[in-house]
Amino acid sequence: MFLSGAIAFELGGSELCRGLPQESELTSTMLNIFFDPVDREVMAIREEVHKKNPRVKDDSVRHTPVRVYAVRYLDETMVVTSGSKMLTLEVRDRILSVFERDLEVKVDRFGSSVHSAASEKMEFLGMEFQAVPPSVLHPPMSEKAKRARKMYLKRKAAEAQELKNARETWRKKLGLKILNHLFKKVRRGHEFEFAFRIEDEVRQEFKGWAEETVVEYFKSQEHRRHWHRLFTSGDFLSLNRVRDQLPSTLVDSYDQLQETLDRFLMPRRGHDITEDEEMLAEEEDERQYENRIVEDLTELKMRVNAPIELVRKAVKLAGFTNSMGRPRPIKLLICLDDADIIKWYAGVGRRWLDFFCCCRNFKMVKIVVSYHLRFSCFLTLAEKHECTKRQAISHYTKDLKVTNENGVPEVYFPTEKEIKMMGDKNLSDPKPVDGALTMILVRLAVDDTSLPCLAHFCAGTDTALYRIRLLQNRLNVDPLNEKKWVQGLSAIHESLNKKCLPLCSIHASDLLLGKITLRDIDCTQFVDVV
């Protein structure tokens, strides 16, 4: 198919539409086939480097062998080495030779440079990669954070003690009620008969309670001091004139008893305990500091950051915020239904959250989605219904709930609790934000609904006509102009602007929410509407 010209790739960016959204669903499969020689060469390089630099099995020796790491997503490839610059240049030349020799691709060797991950930021899949010491990723707690943690632990211990006291008080009251009831029954001459014997079970239960009580009792310094004073006060065997007249075995037994009492019951002074705890804390801090210094000098870990400045520029370019960086309404969306407005905002927000969830500064992306997009949606709804923002928030709630045709409330925009729970522990395959920010669907008031849905593998005929409106036309911005357009932000080609397509309610909702893209729609069957 490649030789016949039926399939062709234009690597390095497409001026027509930047690869979106006309690329086929088979693009990833075809690219895997096309890049198979490159993948094989990378695997061969990794095997050769790993064989030449085996790992030392002795745990007492700190040894970091040279390694080669590689990852590819569609036509973007990143290769990282932990060796010298000469090794990195050799790896680059071998990979570029495969492109030129096997794939017959023209490579700009002058533009192919080698970067130091420790001193420079590398861009890959719209994210910033940089090798940093472990202390940058996991910085030590500040003194303020330590004090706050101690206060939290004290408050937590106090709450646990209060709960324990309340439970014991309730148990005591319940036990007194039971004993009072049994005492009254016995005084009236009532005899208790049991069909089975439960003495052993009751004895074991009380034995367990007694052991737990003793353990908890002797954890207290005051209780131990009290019992030690009772055991040791007034002992005449401590007098020398008495000890000399007694057998040595009795004196030795008494001394062993006293040693045991001192070991288990003799409480230490409060300042001694405080000094020991402070000494242990200082030793632990010193040990952690030493380990941190050694790790910073011997290890480097990759930090992945979202380009926050580009995200903010995209938010400003789309009109979510004004020149002061505050949320503002998007008047182009006023013509949509309330549910479609919320779905459009939800599609943009969820795609950003899913794409940047592995980033270290994901908290900043959360703020952009939770604040700028959410309140821009409130302002757009308020502008549509000619009401205030406070009235819109009270009607739709902070979770942007909207009722469907059956009167059931639905939530499309991610809630504040959902956004707070998102993080690097819930990773997923990256799905580029392709066109969700640059396209809206306007439903047309057309009665003819006999047209079939243009989504692939959908045979629904209960459809509605939607018109594609592109963001760059409203902004009068050329996506090919790098100075005015946001770098890395995809754009849909001008030829799709104002095109009409029939969609069923399910696929129209999925397209607004970003679950599907124009790749999942037959773009050759657009409808001409005057």
pLDDT score at 195: 57
pLDDT score at 13: 46
CA distance 440 to 469: 5
Same-domain pairing of 329 and 461: yes
Q: Which of 264, 16, 298 is nearest to 134 (CA)?
A: 298
CA distance 198 to 186: 19
Residue 350 falls inside a structural domain: yes
Amino acid identity at 290: E
Q: How many domains does the chain fold into?
A: 3
CA distance 328 to 379: 6
Same-domain pairing of 183 and 315: no
Query: At 269, phi and psi to the nearest 5?
Result: -70, 155
- Token pair 């490839």: residue: 77
Same-domain pairing of 35 and 139: no
**Helices and strands counted in the chain (H then E):** 18, 10
pLDDT in tens, the chain (530 residues): 667 766 666 655 444 334 344 456 677 788 888 889 999 999 999 999 888 888 777 666 667 788 888 888 877 888 888 888 888 888 888 888 888 888 888 877 776 778 787 778 888 877 888 888 888 888 888 888 888 988 998 999 899 889 888 888 887 888 788 778 877 877 777 666 655 555 676 677 667 777 777 777 667 777 777 766 766 665 666 667 667 777 788 778 877 877 776 776 665 555 555 666 777 877 887 888 888 887 777 778 888 888 888 888 888 888 888 888 899 998 888 888 888 899 989 888 888 888 888 888 888 888 888 899 999 999 999 999 999 999 999 999 988 988 887 888 888 888 888 888 877 555 566 565 556 677 888 888 776 667 888 888 888 888 888 888 887 777 777 777 777 777 767 777 777 888 888 888 888 888 888 788 777 888 777 877 76
Same-domain pairing of 426 and 512: yes
CA distance 9 to 27: 9
3-state helix, strand, coil in the chain (%, to 5): 50, 10, 40
pLDDT score at 441: 84
Residue 204 falls inside a structural domain: no
pLDDT score at 141: 80
Q: Which of 124, 10, 27 is nearest to 74 (CA)?
A: 27
Q: Which residues contact 383 (CB under 8 A, 6 or more apart)?
A: 329, 331, 334
pLDDT score at 65: 83
Full residue range of the structural domain in which residue 454 is found: 305-520
Residue 416 falls inside a structural domain: yes
pLDDT score at 84: 83
Structure tokens at 136: 């940058």
Residue 170 falls inside a structural domain: yes
Same-domain pairing of 393 and 471: yes
- Eight-state DSSP code of residue 370: I
Same-domain pairing of 76 and 183: no
CA distance 228 to 94: 80
CA distance 88 to 92: 6
Same-domain pairing of 496 and 450: yes
CA distance 107 to 485: 26
Same-domain pairing of 154 and 93: no
Same-domain pairing of 108 and 143: no
Count CB-CB contacts under 10 A for residue 506: 15
pLDDT score at 17: 37
Same-domain pairing of 377 and 508: yes
Q: Which residues contact 344 (CB under 8 A, 6 or more apart)?
A: 333, 336, 440, 512
pLDDT score at 523: 75
User: What sign does the CA torsion over 86, 92, 94, 97 have?
Assistant: negative
pLDDT score at 21: 44
Same-domain pairing of 35 and 160: no
| Bridge partners (DSSP) listed for residue 465 | 502
CA distance 74 to 35: 9
Last residue of a domain, one of 149, 166, 193: 193
CA distance 103 to 29: 16
Residue 147 falls inside a structural domain: yes
Q: What is the dihedral of CA 393, 396, 397, 402, to 10 degrees?
A: -160
